[in-house]
Amino acid sequence: MSTIRVTDEVKERLRDLKRDDESFNDLLDRLSRSEKDVEEMAGFLSEFDDGSLADDMRETHEELNESLDRRSDE
């Protein structure tokens, strides 16, 4: 067993993320696995990407930003 030191601010953010039935150890285990799972899924997507995925994502991001800008101007 190890001790990890975090600031009170970080501990509060972790507490907000922690599920009722989780220990902090369980939370950190879940979060660390989630990031690895996302990295593995990203590799999986590359099998289906014809090279346009990044461009499509950028275009969608720009469209969403423009939509938000229009709504905030109203």
As a whole number, the mean pLDDT across the chain is 82
Amino acid at 44: F
pLDDT band of residue 1 (cuts 50, 70, 90) is: confident
Residue 15 and residue 23 in contact, taking contact as beta carbons nearer than 8 Å: no
pTM over 0.85: no
User: Mean pLDDT across the stretch 22-41?
Assistant: 77
Cβ density class 15-42: b for 16+ within 10 Å, e for less: eeebeeeeeeeeeeeeeeeeeeeeeeee
